[in-house]
Amino acid sequence: MSEAQSVADNKVISFHYRMYRVDEAGKRGEMLESSDDSSPVYYLHGHRNIIPGLEAAMTGKKEGEEFEVTLAPEQAYGERKPNSIQRVPVKHLHLANKKQRIPAGSVVTVQTEQGPRHVVVVKSGKFTVDVDTNHPLAGATLQYEIKIDSVRDASEEEIAHRHVHGPGGHHH
């Protein structure tokens, strides 16, 4: 039986996670997201394919290892930036029904020059919406429970393209 590989740059990692918000007193709240009922997440380590603090916490861990990590906002989705409200035409949102009124607080996707981006609706009108361009989890301290499912060497093509190909990854 071969020894379990360690997480390092240019390795393809698959993992399961549970993510919780941590309050100002350091108490873990309810679970926000989980991969429990789905396939594991795949990413190419060392290429900024996941949030920086999570990638750093994974470095050196082995296949099959389980651990917890708490990340401050600057290690996760960043601090909240004030004055980040923008007015966007509804036609730029990715919606199934562009005629529906979008309630304030809804997380929607808007097409930007850098590609699709999640934003939070602050105010909704008939033709435009005011959105907060901060990531919905900006400013949040997050705690993750991680189980590393597998570690493998990345292919030359995956390294050149800076992301995973094939099962759990991107297909060209």
In angstroms, rounded to a whole number, what is the distance separating the alpha carbons of residues 161 and 157?
A: 6
pLDDT in tens, the chain (172 residues): 567 899 999 999 999 999 999 998 999 999 999 999 999 999 999 999 999 999 999 999 999 999 999 999 999 999 999 899 999 888 888 776 656 778 888 888 887 787 788 889 999 888 889 999 898 899 999 999 999 999 999 999 999 998 898 765 655 4
Q: Could you give the residue ranges of the DSSP H alpha helices within 15-130?
A: 52-58
Question: CB atoms < 10 A from the CB of 55, how many?
Answer: 19
Nearest-Å Rg of the Cα atoms of the chain is 18
Write down the pLDDT at residue 68.
Answer: 97
Cα 122 from chain centroid? 22
In angstroms, rounded to a whole number, what is the distance separating the alpha carbons of residues 28 and 106?
A: 23
Write down the pLDDT at residue 172.
Answer: 47
Residues 59-90 have pLDDT tens digits of 999 999 999 999 999 999 999 998 999 998 88
SS3 161: helix
Strands, E, within 73-127: which ranges? 85-89, 107-112, 115-124
Write down the pLDDT at residue 13.
Answer: 96
Residues 6+ apart with CB under 8 A from 161: 170
**Is the domain defined by 85-132 classed in CATH 3.40.50?**
no
Tell me where in the chain the CATH 3.10.50.40 domain(s) lie: 11-78+139-161
- Domain 11-78+139-161 class in CATH: alpha beta
Tell me where in the chain the CATH 2.40.10 domain(s) lie: 85-132
- Which has the closest alpha carbon to 133: 170, 108, 161, 163? 108
In angstroms, rounded to a whole number, what is the distance separating the alpha carbons of residues 129 and 92?
A: 10
Token couple for 86? 């923008």
In angstroms, rounded to a whole number, what is the distance separating the alpha carbons of residues 43 and 164?
A: 6
Write down the pLDDT at residue 115.
Answer: 79
Angle at 51 between CA 74 and CA 119, to 5 degrees: 80
Write down the pLDDT at residue 131.
Answer: 92
